[in-house]
Amino acid sequence: MQGRGVDMAMIHGRPFHVVGTGCVVRRRGGRLVALKDGELRASAPLTQISEVVLSGQVGISTQAMHALLARDIPLVLLSTTGRPLGRMEPPGAGHVLARRRQLERHCVASDRLELSRALVAGKIRNQHVLLRRRARRASDPEMVWQAAARLSALEVRIAECGDVAQVMGVEGGASGVYDRAFSAVLDPGLGFTGRDRRAGDVINALTNYCSALLRETVISALLAAGLDPYVSFLHTPARGRPTLAFDLMEEWRPVLLDSTVLALTGLRAVTPEDLADGPDGPWLTPHARSRVVNRFHARLAAPARGWPAPPARRTYADQIRAQCTALRTWVLGESASYEPFAWR
């Protein structure tokens, strides 16, 4: 549901997003509503909301928060640039066995290596697929094809890595190859020279914001699977950082994050003119963030195409949940290996 005016609250695929300074979220009976200056921007039945995401200076009433807690609906707070500020959800003590086994396997070097190999190989494979799909429209098609071939070779090298540090080294090399080729499939006028979280170009701003949306999607799926988002295998656990979500995001970055950025810029739905000056650098305007949310959730709702072959009508959002469940199965020792999603 698209709001009117310069701000937006939307429901697409069940999450309820509110973007824009001055908006307030309240409960009205069995519904959650988003208001701006007393005017209704959007509403949805609480029974149809999976999570609430507030981006920027958005208020929420205590009554609304109580309603969310009573229905096990997470509340996610993001900064204007997409940086995670916090997450509210009801306390729970379920899934003790899965979390205990997760911690035990985290402490086993061979287990960390096994899962890290799978995650990074999946990421590189999906990067290769994206470049092959976009090569013909690139400014330098031959360079993009060569980069795709180089990624295929690096994917093979993952199996030869003897520890997680070596896996991360190959991943870093693959990221360099991919980023250079990715810039060639973009409009040169967008000013993208490489991935930099603090850069002021529209591509990095879009990537930062989409990354926040993907991160919260994966965290919700991990929690639903009974896993601890803070106990990871590839990334080093750190205070306040959901590093297992970062692990699981790797295979999805080309599929959901980079493809969303390419769609938004290719359609000129978001342009450099959609950047505004903020206290910590350029950020996307409320209108632009609304379009990002809409496009990202449309992507999540699209039919998943890849391997393991999803059942008919399974969306990418469904497949993320299925991958988190598959990880839980591996953690519990009920499957011999974890197989990342292979895009096609």
| The amino acid at 244 | L
Residue 339 pLDDT > 60: yes
Q: Is residue 265 within 8 Å of residue 282, measured between CB atoms?
A: no
Give the helix ranges, DSSP H, for the chain. Answer: 62-70, 96-106, 109-134, 141-158, 164-184, 202-224, 243-249, 259-266, 286-300, 316-331
This prediction has a pTM of 0.86
Q: Is residue 222 within 8 Å of residue 324, measured between CB atoms?
A: yes
DSSP code for 336? S
Distance of alpha carbon 308 from the chain centroid = 20
Task: Answer left, alpha or beta for residue 42, where phi above 0 means left and psi between -120 and 50 means alpha.
Answer: beta
Residue 8 pLDDT > 70: no
Tell me whether residue 88 is exposed, middle or buried, using C-beta atoms within 10 angstroms of its C-beta: 0 to 12, 13 to 18, 19 or more. middle
* Rg over CA atoms, the chain: 20
| The amino acid at 41 | R
Which pLDDT tens digit goes with each residue over 198-241? 778 899 999 999 999 999 999 999 998 999 999 999 999 998 89
Contacts of 107 (CB under 8 A, 6+ apart): none
Name residue 10's beta-bridge partners.
Answer: 17
Q: In which band, very low, low, confident or very high, does the pLDDT at 92 lie, cut at 50, 70 and 90?
A: low
Q: Is residue 323 within 8 Å of residue 340, measured between CB atoms?
A: yes
What is the pLDDT at residue 42? 86
Residue 110 pLDDT > 50: yes
Name residue 319's beta-bridge partners.
Answer: none
What is the pLDDT at residue 205? 92
Mean pLDDT estimate for the chain: 90
Rounded mean pLDDT of 54-83?
A: 91
Percent of the chain with pLDDT over 90: 73
Q: In which band, very low, low, confident or very high, does the pLDDT at 61 lie, cut at 50, 70 and 90?
A: very high
CA separation for the pair 284, 270 (Å, rounded) = 9
Q: Is residue 23 within 8 Å of residue 302, measured between CB atoms?
A: no
117, 175, 149: which is closest to 339 by C-alpha? 117
Which pLDDT tens digit goes with each residue over 270-291? 999 999 887 777 789 999 999 9
Tell me whether residue 162 is exposed, middle or buried, using C-beta atoms within 10 angstroms of its C-beta: 0 to 12, 13 to 18, 19 or more. exposed
The answer to which of 80-94, 172-186, 225-239, 282-296 has the lowest mean pLDDT is 80-94
Residue 9 pLDDT > 70: no
